[in-house]
Amino acid sequence: MSCFSNFRNNCGCGCNHQSNCFNSCNHQNSCYNFCSRSNSRSCGASQSCGCSPFFCPRYNALVIRGPRGATGPQGPQGLPGTVALSLGYFTSPASQAVAANADVPLQNNSVLTGTGITHTAGQSAVTLSAGTYLISWQADATIPASGTASLGLFVNGVADQNSQSSTTGTASTVARLSGTTMLAVTTPTTVSLQNTSTSTTTYQNVSMSIIKVA
């Protein structure tokens, strides 16, 4: 059997004459187009195109999976995460009427860990040691007759301007107030939530989260 006869049988070339084998392959889409223009009768010409007398890469290619390689070395250890030095979470779910310019009592120490935060359940003030703290709070306020409910974080009795919240609306409707601030202190400091409304306001679902981050 000639070189082109073998090539034709393995590539699916439907040519009748060996000299036209590559052109017939092109018309039948069986071998690569860059092989199709060769009229050479030598096996070397077909092999230089990627085809051989016994193999056509378009029709006869096989995928053989080898054995799995060895496991690579373990990567370097990641950077250590940040762990809160102290954590406090204080809540007052029940409704409580708070006079104007008075602090909101925090009834429960739901979470209190570490030595940087101290609080007596039922008191309004939370004491912080020197450090940096992330403080978030929220409360549902029943809007008083004046039409405005306001609540804010106070630090040593002074309003933290980054953490004040106020809303206006129809009297007796309930509105959510909230605030977040980052606070850095160098000496023992107290924080509290104060009713800054001009009249007594009822608060419920009060919570304050304090995390010492540095």
- Which tens digits make up the pLDDT trace of 118-173? 999 999 999 999 999 999 999 999 999 999 999 999 999 999 999 999 999 999 99
Please name which of 94, 24, 98, 10 lies closest in space to residue 58, comparing C-alpha atoms.
10
Q: Assign domain 86-212 to a CATH class.
A: mainly beta
Close Cβ partners of 127 (under 8 Å, ≥ 6 residues apart): 117, 118, 119, 188, 189, 190
Highest mean pLDDT among 37-46, 53-62, 157-166: 157-166
Contact 111, 212 (CB under 8 A): no
The mean pLDDT of 86-90, rounded to a whole number, is: 97
Close Cβ partners of 164 (under 8 Å, ≥ 6 residues apart): 150, 151, 152, 153, 179, 196
Half-sphere exposure of 29 (CA within 13 A, CB side): 0
User: What are the residue ranges of CATH 2.60.120.40 in the chain?
Assistant: 86-212
Q: Is the dihedral of CA 16, 18, 23, 27 positive or negative?
A: positive
12 pLDDT above the threshold of 50: no
* Weakest-pLDDT range from 12-21, 52-61, 104-113: 12-21
Average pLDDT, rounded, for the chain: 80
